[in-house]
Amino acid sequence: MHADAPLESLMARYQQGDFACATALIHRLSPQLHRYFVVQFASRRDADDLLQETWLRIHQVRHTYRPGEPVLPWFYAIARHIRVDHYRRRSRAAGREERLEDMPEPAALPTVSGGTPDLETLLAPLSDSQREVVEMLKVAGMSLEEVARATSSSVGSVKQKAHRAYEKLRERLSGLGLGGERAGDASSTGGAS
């Protein structure tokens, strides 16, 4: 029953204390939130911790969601806050050398079926903010307006980040020989805007 229900109505029922809807939200949104953390260079274990922390925070501030508003920007804004907090705590606790050691090696290029690098590897050369924008647009399926809300920025800024991310991805994929055709389609902005 809850599998196909809109996220907004599940959230409204969760606010009313419906445990089945809360569980449905957890099962539907956790994989993409988990991936959001993994894509941001968190280890699987860190991503598990961040996911748990995010849901506890979501539970604590669930009254701040206003029924009728898009729900994904609300979830991602909180997940982003948890991730930034985690990064700050970790930066304070560990030295720079240690953080660099923890970063995955982009040259390893683990692949999914079809020889395409997995998402984390694919997005590795992007900056944090570009990776975040691409993940929200292409994995979470959010609109530009929703990404702007989740990242507390403007639609123009999101478009610019996505455009720059696509430029980097184009170079990266062409270098890997995955493009088929060479770069030069800069006029085609459908994916990034």
Partner 1 sequence: MNDQKIDDILKQAAQAPGQVDPALLERIAGAIQSSLRPVRPLPPAWVLSLGLVLVCVAVALAGAARSGFYGIQKMTDLERALIFPALGIFMALAAMACVGEMIPGSRRPVAPGSLVAGGSLALAAVFAALFHDYQTAHFVSQGLVCLAAGLFYAVPAALASWLVLRRGFAVNAAAAGLVTGTLAGLAGVTMLELHCPNFEAPHVMVWHTAVILVSAGAGALVGRWRRMRTGDAPSGSR
Phi, psi (degrees; rounded to nearest 5) at 6: -60, 145
Closest CA to 33 of 138, 136, 117: 136
Q: Determine, following the binding rule CB under 8 A, whether residue 50 of this chain makes contact with partner 1.
A: no
Q: For partner 1, which residue of 5, 7, 26, 109 counts as binding (CB under 8 A)?
A: 26
Cβ–Cβ under 8 Å, residues 136 and 52: no
Q: Determine, following the binding rule CB under 8 A, whether residue 23 of this chain makes contact with partner 1.
A: yes
Site string for partner 1, 142-171 (x = CB under 8 A): ---x--xxx-xxx-----------x--xx-
Closest CA to 42 of 95, 120, 117: 120
Q: For partner 1, which residue of 9, 43, 56, 94 counts as binding (CB under 8 A)?
A: 56
DSSP 8-class letter at 67? T
3-class secondary structure, 41: coil
Distance between CA 153 and CA 144 in Å, rounded? Answer: 10
- Count of residues near partner 1 by CB under 8 A: 76
Q: Determine, following the binding rule CB under 8 A, whether residue 90 of this chain makes contact with partner 1.
A: no
**Which one, 95 or 180, has the nearer CB to partner 1?**
180
Minimum CB separation of residue 119 from partner 1 in Å reads 4
Q: For partner 1, which residue of 7, 8, 70, 106 counts as binding (CB under 8 A)?
A: 70
Cβ–Cβ under 8 Å, residues 147 and 136: yes
Task: Choose the binding region for partner 1 from 2-10, 46-54, 93-101, 125-133 (rule: CB under 8 A).
Answer: 46-54
How far, rounded to the nearest angstrom, does the alpha carbon of residue 165 sit from its chain's CA centroid?
14
DSSP 8-class letter at 186? T
Task: Choose the binding region for partner 1 from 2-10, 100-108, 124-132, 172-180 (rule: CB under 8 A).
Answer: 172-180
Q: Determine, following the binding rule CB under 8 A, whether residue 128 of this chain makes contact with partner 1.
A: no
